[in-house]
Amino acid sequence: MEKPERKDCEQIKMNEKEVFSYIELLQQYGSVPGLDSIRELCARLGNPQDSLVFIHVAGTNGKGSVTAYLTGVLMEAGVKVGRYNSPTIRDWKERIMVGRQKIAKEPLCRLMSRIRKVCDEMAGEGLPHPTSFEVETVLGFLYFLEKGCDLVILETGMGGALDATNIIGSPKVAVLTSISMDHMAFLGDTLPEIAAQKAGIIKEGCQVVTMPQEPACLRVIQEVCRQKHANLTVAPEVCDGKIDRVRYGVEKQSFRYKKRLQIEVPLIGTFQIENAGLAITVCEVLQSLGYAISDAQIQNGIKNTVWHARFEVLSKKPYFIIDGAHNEDAARKLAQSLEFYFTNKKIVFIMGILKDKEYEKIIRLTAPLAESIITVKTPDNPRAMDAYELAKEVARFHPKVTAAGSIEEAVEMSYLLADQGSVILAFGSLSYLGRVMDIMEKRKKTKRNGR
């Protein structure tokens, strides 16, 4: 493997371009489950995680939405909240945020230079070089400590027990979103095995809040809570009566929580009702721990939540929607939302998927809903599936599929295939949807200027 070039980081601070070149170079170390490397890296940097207070979030789908809701509520309550999540849509720096402000250039360069020096020392001593995710996680810890965050919402990258974020001690609350099949090469081949990995974030005596889960998953979570003497709360669901008066819509959605709280949800998708319910349940647990969070702050925090590329409407007439459904469970929920909101509508897909995902299952679940499908290759991603290869796979399930040479071409083609009453949906890998957003913004600007 190519070794990152050494620098004397006590005297030389990387600039922003060098930081992102370094992050890209770290990709060669891949994903390595386990805590030994990050434990060593944190120890050499003073164990910043030990001075922070966390809400730790694991699950297969919904992590980003739930952390976004929680961030909004805690900001309303006057809590200085850090948020660590991945992947991001448009800007890498959005992985590490305080409130709604992403990490600034100066601390990014200064702290990454410090981390790089330690990584070089570890490699020089014959220890494994930390991976990109381990480096990014420790960067977050250092930044949140420097900014004096009262509470950090920490999203796992993959799994839980062996995820780099699990270096932390007992969190205030361990949160489990929807658990389904994903990353089987690392996490296991069955739902109970995957649930056991996710439940690895549960620590001795902590509070645990989970989304309603498949019975096999819930049994695993209950057993881990019993072993860890952790208090488990299961969030409500639409069918149990604690979430009622639900109003679904493409513009906005709302529901009543436990007969008392009227909640307006800005994120679209039928599944967002229960994601918001999970976030509110976490807020109730925080209230029981002494955090002063009012009903009005919960309502306003959720109402003002912004979270891109989760069934997000970018334009109307025709509707142009983007969604990061990249695994079987997310594809199933996406299909349910399409059938619910857009019955009997003409739908055009733009589809881009990574080759290490369960693309056949994603295609099988979604393809029957589209009239036409355009495939794209996610740019600058070695895991991206070629557009023509993806088109061949789609053709097994749908007769009208075309491979586009670029994302720009795919967007133009979709508008040619659609009329004003149609729906265009770009979905799959989050890593190309930021480019779709840029193209759509440029398109809107051109339209406003009359060109």
Residue 52 located in a structural domain: yes
Residues 270 and 145 in one domain: yes
With a cut of 70, say whether residue 7 has pLDDT above it: no
- Residue 185 pLDDT: 54
Q: Domain for residue 1, yes or no?
A: no
Question: Averaged over 259-277, what is the pLDDT?
Answer: 95
Which pair of structure tokens corresponds to residue 450? 């009359």
Does residue 56 have a pLDDT over 50?
yes
Residue ranges of E strands in 190-242: 207-210, 231-234
Cβ atoms within 10 Å of 191's Cβ, excluding its own: 18
Q: Which residues contact 370 (CB under 8 A, 6 or more apart)?
A: 347, 348, 349, 398, 425
Residues 49, 123 within the same domain = yes
Prediction pTM value = 0.91
Confidence of residue 431 (pLDDT cuts 50, 70, 90): confident
* Sequence-ordered list of residues with C-beta below 8 angstroms from that of 449, at least 6 positions apart, any chain: none
Give me the domain span that covers residue 286. 16-303
Task: Indicate whether 243 and 362 sit together in one domain.
Answer: no
**Rg over CA atoms, the chain:** 22
Dihedral sign computed on CA atoms, order 96, 102, 107, 113:
positive
Dump pLDDT digits (tens) for 31-40.
888 999 999 9
* Same-domain status, 422 and 297: no
Asked if the structure places residue 367 within a domain, the reply is yes
Give 306: exposed, middle or buried? Use CB within 10 Å, 0-12, 13-18, 19+.
Answer: exposed
Alpha carbon distance 411, 387 (integer Å): 14
The answer to whether residue 102 is domain-embedded is yes
Question: Do the domain assignments include residue 8?
Answer: no
Are 392 and 283 part of one and the same domain?
Answer: no
Domain shared by 189 and 332, yes or no: no
Side-chain-side CA neighbours of 171 within 13 Å: the count stands at 29
Do both 52 and 140 map to the same domain? yes
Q: Per residue in 58-98, pLDDT tens?
A: 999 899 999 999 999 999 999 999 999 988 888 999 999 99
**Whether the predicted pLDDT of 8 surpasses 60:** no
Cα angle: 429, vertex 433, 438; to 5 degrees:
165
Torsion angles phi and psi, residue 373, rounded to 5: -130, 130
422 is written with which tokens?
A: 């149609």
Does a structural domain hold residue 10?
A: no
Task: Report how far residue 431's alpha carbon sits from residue 90's, in angstroms, rounded to the nearest whole number.
Answer: 8
Above pLDDT 70, what percent of the chain? 96
Instruction: Give the C-alpha distances (Å, rounded to integers) separating 441 from 35, 315, 444.
Output: 41, 9, 5
| pLDDT of 87 | 80
Q: What pLDDT, on the 0 to 100 scale, is given for residue 90?
A: 84
- Domain closes at, from 247, 276, 303: 303
Span 299-328, average pLDDT: 93
- Among 257, 282, 303, identify where a domain stops: 303
> Does one domain contain both 267 and 369?
no
Close Cβ partners of 29 (under 8 Å, ≥ 6 residues apart):
1, 128, 129, 130, 131, 132
Q: Is there a single domain that holds both residue 52 and residue 128?
A: yes
Angle at Cα 277 formed by Cα 205 and Cα 49, nearest 5°? 40
Share the mean pLDDT of the chain.
93
pLDDT in tens, 165-185: 999 999 999 999 999 876 555
| 335 and 256 within one domain | no
- Please check whether residue 423 lies inside any domain of the structure: yes
Domain boundary pick from 251, 271, 303 = 303
Q: For position 372, which CATH number holds? A: 3.90.190.20
Q: Quick check: is 154 in a domain? A: yes
Report the 10 Å Cβ neighbour count for 78. 11
353-374 pLDDT tens trace: 988 878 999 999 999 999 999 9
Residues 294 and 325 in one domain: no
Q: Is 30's pLDDT higher than 90?
A: no
Indicate whether 10 pLDDT > 80: no
The count of structural domains within the chain is: 2
157 with 248, same domain? yes
